[in-house]
Amino acid sequence: MIPAAFDYVAPTTVDSAVRALAEAGDEAKVIAGGQSLLPVLRMRLAAPTKLIDLGRIPEMRGVRDGGDHLVIGAMTTHYDVQRDPLVAEHAELIKLATDTVADPQVRHRGTFGGSLAHADPAGDLLAPALALDARFIVSGMDGRRTVSAADFFVDFFTTALHQAEILVEVHVPKHTGWTAHYEKFQRVAQAWSIVGVAATVRAEAGKIAEARIALTNMASVPIRATAVEDALIGKQATAENIKSAAEHAAEGTSPTTDGNADPAYRQHLARVLTSRALTAAAGV
Ligand code: FAD
């Protein structure tokens, strides 16, 4: 199918994009890489009468050093995130999860902010953003506000963004010296996660001093596996301790049933993948 007719504008500043969005009301949508929105339009699951293209706004692109955090522009493509040296050094978990997103074609068009704003629970970048306590900078007619990762994801495909707000950039606290791994289970290569686990740890003298673990597709939003984190702190980084802590991974989860898996299978996957992710992250 082809999409319903729409008007198209391509502003060059965040302020003009916000204004265009506010003026057009509920009938408008912003488009980033179009990798999720265009299929939705083609299937006529949505029919906005106006598309506001964010692709010509330079201030929304790129990664920069913000001191104790990285600033990742919402329009930075997956390809650029993957190759950014600051991301590799200070937020390795995001680089590793981005490596698993789709294929090179999608990674050249799809954007970091588009993935987060789309809020697909199977999307691979939501759990790393949650695990690293990212902060979302959103812009609307009343100016900018900051939303924590814990508050940004509200439900399936639903975020804390108001109708006339745009996600401008994401601040990711530096986790320099932490080691990380993203473990993803998928039925076919280049697909979304059936379940994914984002894990990053900081070790001191062979013991786990800090751990952050978040799960993909184990609820309508990404969730932290805090019971696993608590079970690990202060323990020697051994295969046995990791396996025992990972047994807590499905606690508090509410996964759905779909054509790929039922809740019990997803909970089994969460335990197995958490063990694998932590083993790789801790270098055991
Ligand atoms: P768009 O499609 O342009 O927009 C998506 C939604 O977010 C729209 O509703 C739009 O209005 C809104 N939006 C976008 N940017 C903003 C913003 N800055 N502020 C406010 N709202 C905004 N993803 C994975 O995580 N893992 C995968 O394995 C994976 N596999 C894929 C395979 C294929 C074949 C395809 C086509 C996509 C796949 N994706 C996967 C999705 C991909 O990561 C997309 O890039 C992402 O979902 C959407 O990013 P986008 O920039 O294309 O956003």
pLDDT at 265: 97
pLDDT over 90 percentage in the chain: 96
Q: For residue 101, which of 152, 1, 33, 175 has the smallest C-alpha distance?
A: 33
pLDDT at 70: 98
Ligand 1 centroid – CA 237 distance (Å)? 36
Q: Is 113 in the pocket of ligand 1 (CB under 6 A)?
A: yes
Q: Identify whether the C-beta of residue 282 lies closer than 8 Å to the C-beta of residue 243.
A: no
Ligand 1 centroid – CA 75 distance (Å)? 11
Ligand 1 centroid – CA 235 distance (Å)? 38
pLDDT at 1 over 90: no
Ligand 1 centroid – CA 123 distance (Å)? 9
What are the CA-CA distances from residue 225 to residues 174, 187, 196, 268 (Å)? 20, 23, 12, 14
Q: Is 241 in the pocket of ligand 1 (CB under 6 A)?
A: no
Q: Is 101 in the pocket of ligand 1 (CB under 6 A)?
A: yes
The count of other CB atoms within 10 Å of the CB of residue 59 is 13
Mean pLDDT of 260-276: 97
pLDDT at 66 over 90: yes
Which residues touch 211 (CB under 8 Å, ≥6 apart)? 199, 200, 201, 202, 228, 229, 232, 233, 278
Ligand 1 centroid – CA 178 distance (Å)? 28
pLDDT at 189: 86
Q: Is 123 in the pocket of ligand 1 (CB under 6 A)?
A: yes
Specify the DSSP class assigned to residue 259: S
Ligand 1 centroid – CA 247 distance (Å)? 32
**DSSP reduced 3-state for 13:** coil
pLDDT at 191 over 90: no
pLDDT at 92 over 90: yes
**DSSP reduced 3-state for 269:** helix
The residue nearest atom 1 of ligand 1, judged by CA position, is 34
The residue nearest atom 37 of ligand 1, judged by CA position, is 35
Ligand 1 centroid – CA 206 distance (Å)? 39
Mean pLDDT of 97-112: 97
What are the CA-CA distances from residue 117 to residues 40, 92, 173, 209, 247 (Å)? 15, 21, 19, 32, 31
Q: Is 275 in the pocket of ligand 1 (CB under 6 A)?
A: no
Q: Is 117 in the pocket of ligand 1 (CB under 6 A)?
A: yes
pLDDT in tens, 40-64: 999 999 999 999 999 999 999 999 9
What domains can be seen in the chain, in order of their start residue?
7-53 (3.30.43.10), 58-173 (3.30.465.10), 182-282 (3.30.390.50)
pLDDT in tens, 251-266: 999 999 999 999 999 9
Q: Is 37 in the pocket of ligand 1 (CB under 6 A)?
A: yes
What CA–CA distance (Å, rounded) separates 144 from 165? Answer: 9
Ligand 1 centroid – CA 117 distance (Å)? 8
pLDDT, averaged across the chain:
97
pLDDT at 25: 86
Q: Identify whether the C-beta of residue 249 lies closer than 8 Å to the C-beta of residue 270.
A: yes
pLDDT at 26 over 90: no
Q: Which atom of ligand 1 is nearest to the CA of 126?
A: 25
